[in-house]
Amino acid sequence: MGCVLEVDVDGEGVFFVDKDVLAPFSGKIKNLFDERPVGRGARRPPRVVLHGFPGGAETFELVARFCYTGGGLAVVTAANACALRCAAEFMNMAPSLAKLAEKALDEMPHWPWQSVVDAVRQCERLLPLAESTGVLGRVAGALLSHMAVVGDATPTSSSPESSAFRFSCDTKSSASLFSSTARCNGSSRTWWFEDLVVVLSPGMLERLARALLARGADHGVVARFLFYYLKCRLAGAANAEDKAAMLEAVIIVIADDLDRSSVSCKGLFGILRVASPLRLAGACQDRLVAMIGRKLDHATLDNLLVQAPCSGKKTRGGGGSLYDVGLVLRFLEAFLREEPEPARLKKVGALVDLYLAEVAPDPSLRPARFVELATALPPAARDCHDALYRAIDVYFQVHGRLTDEEKMKICKGINYERLSPDCCKHLARNAGFPTRAAVQALASQHAVLKGIIRHSGPMKPPPPSAPPATGKHQRDGHDDGGDQQQVVLYASRLELSLENQSLKSLLDGMNWRMMELEKVCSRMKTQMNKMKASRRGGVAAGCTARSLPRMCS
Please check whether residue 138 lies inside any domain of the structure. Answer: no
The domain boundary residue, chosen from 422, 454, 486: 454
pLDDT tens digits, 432-467: 999 898 888 888 777 666 665 555 544 444 444 444
Domain stops at, among 454, 481, 510:
454
3-state secondary structure of 188: coil
Helix (H, G, I), strand (E, B) or coil at 6: strand
Rounded Cα distance between 329 and 352, Å, is 10
Q: What is the structure's pLDDT at 452?
A: 58
> In which region does residue 354 sit, left (phi positive, over 0), alpha (psi from -120 to 50) or beta (all else)?
alpha
Q: How far apart are CA 434 and CA 513, in angstroms?
A: 10
Bridge-based pairing of strands 47-50 and 4-9 is: parallel
Q: CB–CB of 355/322 below 8 Å?
A: no
Range of the domain at 28: 4-108
Same domain (yes/no): 290, 302: no
Q: In the chain, how many domains are there? A: 3
Phi-psi sector, 92: left (phi>0), alpha (psi -120 to 50), beta: left
Same domain, 287 and 214: yes
Pair 284, 330 in one domain: no
Whether 536 is in a domain gets the answer no
With b for 16 or more beta-carbon neighbours within 10 A and e for fewer, the 5-33 pattern comes to: bebbbeeeeebebebebbbebbeebeebb
Please check whether residue 176 lies inside any domain of the structure.
Answer: no
- CA terminus-to-terminus distance, the chain: 106
The count of other CB atoms within 10 Å of the CB of residue 439 is 16
pLDDT of residue 445: 74
Structural contact between residues 502 and 474, judged by C-beta atoms closer than 8 angstroms = no
Whether 392 is in a domain gets the answer: yes
Are 303 and 428 members of one domain? yes
- Same domain flag for 388 and 443: yes
Helices (H) and strands (E) in the chain, counts: 26, 3
Domain identity same for 327 and 280: no
pLDDT of residue 220: 92
- 274 and 363 in one domain? no
| pLDDT per residue as tens digits for the range 34-87 | 655 555 555 677 889 999 999 999 999 999 999 998 887 667 899 999 999 999
Domain shared by 379 and 437, yes or no: yes
Tell me the one-letter amino acid at 281: A
The whole-number pLDDT of residue 346 equals 96
pLDDT of residue 442: 82
For the domain that residue 43 is a member of, what is the CATH number? 3.30.710.10
Positions of the chain with pLDDT under 50: 151-189, 311-319, 457-484, 487-503, 539-553
Domain edge (last residue) among 393, 420, 454: 454
Residue 216 sits in the same domain as residue 262: yes
Taking Cα atoms as reference points, which of 413, 351, 353, 344 lies closest to residue 378?
413
How far apart are alpha carbons 350 and 82 in whole angstroms? 56
Q: What are the CB-based long-range contacts (under 8 Å, 24+) for 482-485?
A: 483/452, 483/455, 483/456, 483/457, 484/456, 484/459, 484/460
Whole-number pLDDT of residue 550: 40
**Residue 421 resides in a domain:** yes
Contact 249, 205 (CB under 8 A): yes
- Report the C-alpha gap between 308 and 325 in whole angstroms: 8
The H or E element spanning position 9 is strand 4-9
What are the CA-CA distances from residue 147 to residues 144, 151, 191, 193, 212 (Å)?
A: 5, 7, 9, 10, 11
